[in-house]
A and B are shown apart, each in its own frame.
Chain A
């Protein structure tokens, strides 16, 4: 829980603070009182030194300004939110930097929401574009229904040109391909869970990307968890809200969150824990929901959400199980691993390297602590493309220098950026675990199953 909710600077971090009533942010986001958090700021500027955007973009004033300073200004007189807040990429690095526990990203999310609500013209090109990017999930089902057509159309240079001219979506990038079969379609066709186990149950929050674009990641999770004897539930779900927070579309995020909290809370009732395979999704459920919303059960959903690999490390002897195993096939050799910002913020940055190091013949090389630069929808915007690539430069350099030709990460948009900047193929940690535990043979049969 953040200081904004518990206004004191000497509480034990993370300890129970149940007496406190969370604040309802909506419908009047501007009423949320973040001042206690702002007062904790002693202007050390540590946050500023962690901001990847301020490092390369001379126009961005940095997290200290966006957070506590802007907040203070606003309280004093009738200051408008500074439009630079839209240049923040929501990487949330400043959050884990602040030694004084100022809830920076919560301030940014709230300020962005207010900016969009009050200062952005809802008929503007920018608003329309941001809304489309933030609500990618609404378009995805359509594309997924006609994946080949969609991939074809999205790949056309005329489409890209129009995207840039009409909407301000950069033409430099390739749109992600849609899978010919979504994960949920596969799941239904397969007849749902293959394992029943009232004592070991998880509810899988797959998020949009692994449903529509990389179902192989979601399938890998299913096979790995079933290998350990888990019964898997796949509750109805909406987008996690990450792209909406980043674009200040808090109303959209609220709607999505409401569905997710309701469905996931029901799964908790059924004795399941929640696991996610995307680091931004788990971040959103764990941190942003309780910071911004107070639906019934928001807290319990947050407290019972896990990163998929971490869950196995704590509840099973994952490393023991991997010990001495090896993986066939050239695609599983050495990896250039990038820890996404949203993993880093959850203290998971070292995990993949640790876990994979026990598998024979595979090594994951950490490519350093820089941000990939794409930050979800951020790097898709024409005006941010250059900034995004400048931020990514250090990661590209390190990937090139690492002893590996394949990239590895847990964030779908980081993987787009890694691929875009280096041309490497990018895998997800769960795919490597699947190959080691269940074998690539069954990965192939999985594909047949899917086909």
Chain B
């Protein structure tokens, strides 16, 4: 026996979650499972959904106004080129549906400009509602508030940067103690929890709920500004309520400035996706890796060789040392890139560890990078090559397996960090891979 499903998605980041949701949506009768190992890069990511912020071949021209406009110019092999621009739009619409009113930005094709914790602005297609009142295109003056115990956001510096970058409003920064937090290295979850549960804290003004205490401290610094920006730690489960309470107490709109990792907006997006998975009846197995596979002949093919049948029969999940077989009809590989460990490197080679799918790369490791750290790094594009169905291709451009598709950062041919396309590629390819897998499993 094995654990049996129709579609099995491997990897639970943005790409995997989207693929599983899309499969369940395309074929409501098929049984979909998602198996994932460690936590995904969503916990590091800002929670912003970038489609394309800069043109890959001419980043110096600055942020793109309309990312969709630029899609047709992408080079062959780029994941967007593989799936086509219609699929990118469909995927985004699918995401809008899943995210509901937790995300904004769907009223226009143009990129929004969201201020970041460093005081720069970032072009992005969709953004959490918590950041909506902070957009740089908005001309209302803003007060940015930082916390003494949270050195990653220097509010006065960020404000100065924003002004220097030509923001159409004046920004001012203030640094305050966060009521209830004493540790100078308190976790972001600690701030969020205090506000979420509105825990009682003691300040100079006596004992009050954390929300009120925070609002009181900020109110003393607020001038004429009609909006106030905080680092993105304003609650977790009850984030909307926290923001609303603060706004009411301050008489000003409240927004969050996305922070570096670890990131609460990323965690909230993760929660949103996993709630959607539960809602859609997708079965989720997490905390355990897929380590191997067997082909239809049922003879184990070691990940590093063997003849390789063309159809995957089942995969092997490692449960703390015990090997558990999982069987499905269609598989989606969404294990991430070098960070997510879907692609790994050794001194001699770059490889995909589960199915040993071909990863195109130069034979000489000195050709994997260029000396200029800001240069166009070949390793940033490492990943699987695929056909238009997103089936990974072997060295001869033939599909590795007939029932395996790949999505997200495990794919090669794009540099998400340079072109600001990480979440968009995960969505688009996850959507296409999942939809096809669902249709074929039906």
Q: A residues within 8 Å of B by Cβ?
A: 1, 10, 12-15, 44-46, 48-51, 54-56, 58-59, 61-62, 65, 96-99, 101, 283, 286-287, 290, 299, 302-306, 310, 313-317, 344-347, 349-351, 354, 366, 390, 393-394
Contact of B151 with A by CB under 8 A = no
Would A315 and B1 be within 8 Å (CB), given that A14-B318, A58-B181, A302-B320 are in contact?
yes
The answer to whether B183 has its CB under 8 Å from any CB of chain A is yes
Contacts of B193 in A (CB 8 A): 55-56
> A303–B183 Cα gap in the complex (Å)?
42
Stretch at the interface among B37-45, B106-114, B115-123, B422-430: B37-45
Hey, which chain B residues are within 8 Å of A96, CB to CB? 38-39, 286-287
Known A-B contacts A13-B291, A58-B186; A302 and B321 likewise in contact (beta carbons under 8 Å): yes
Q: Indicate if B289 sits at the interface (CB-CB under 8 A).
A: yes
| CA gap between A61 and B149 in the complex, in Å | 13
Number of chain B interface residues as a range: 35 or more
A286 CB contacts on chain B under 8 angstroms: 319-322
Closest 8 CB pairs of A and B: A14-B318, A347-B288, A286-B320, A13-B289, A347-B287, A96-B287, A12-B353, A55-B189
Question: In whole Å, how far is A264's beta carbon from the nearest beta carbon of chain B?
Answer: 14
C-alpha gap A394/B284 in the complex (Å): 21
- Among B186, B190, B353, chain A packs the most CB atoms within 10 A around the CB of B190
20 A-B pairs with C-beta separation under 8 A: A10-B345, A12-B291, A13-B318, A15-B291, A45-B262, A46-B43, A46-B262, A48-B188, A49-B189, A49-B267, A54-B189, A56-B193, A58-B182, A99-B340, A286-B320, A310-B324, A314-B324, A347-B285, A350-B284, A394-B237
Knowing A13-B37, A350-B284 are in contact, say whether A287-B320 is a contact too (CB < 8 A). Answer: yes
A349 to B285, CA, bound (A): 7
Q: How many angstroms between the C-alpha atoms of A290 and B320 in the bound complex?
A: 10
Contact (Cβ within 8 A) A347 B286: yes
User: Considering only CB atoms, which chain A residue lies closest to B182 in the complex?
Assistant: A58
Tell me the minimal C-beta distance from B320 to chain A in angstroms. Answer: 4
Do A350 and B189 touch across chains, with their CB atoms under 8 A apart? no
B305-326 interface (Cβ within 8 A of A): 317-322, 324-325
**B residues near A, CB below 8 A?**
1-3, 35, 37-39, 41, 43-44, 180-183, 185-190, 192-193, 197, 199, 237, 261-262, 267, 278, 283-289, 291-292, 303, 317-322, 324-325, 339-341, 344-346, 353-354
Q: List A contacts of B35 (CB < 8 A).
A: 347
Candidates B262, B339, B341; contact of A49 at CB < 8 Å: B262
Contact of A46 with B187 in the complex, beta carbons under 8 Å:
no
Inter-chain CA distance A59–B181, complex, in Å, is 10
In chain B, what residue has the closest Cβ to A370? B237
Q: Judge whether A48 and B189 touch: CB under 8 Å.
A: yes
Residues of chain A within 8 A (CB-CB) of B192 are: 55
* Nearest-neighbor residue (CB-CB) of A43 within chain B: B261
- From the candidates A61, A302, A306, name the one contacting B185 in the complex (CB within 8 A): A61
Nearest B residue to A347 via CB reads: B288
Q: In the bound complex, do residue A349 and residue B44 qualify as a contact, i.e. CB atoms below 8 Å apart?
A: no
Contact A290:B291 (CB < 8 A) given known A12-B353, A49-B187: no
Contact partners of B41 in chain A: CB under 8 A: 99
**Contact between A305 and B262, CB atoms less than 8 A apart:** no
6 additional A-B residue pairs with CB within 8 Å, beyond A51-B189, A58-B183 = A13-B353, A14-B321, A55-B193, A302-B321, A314-B325, A350-B284
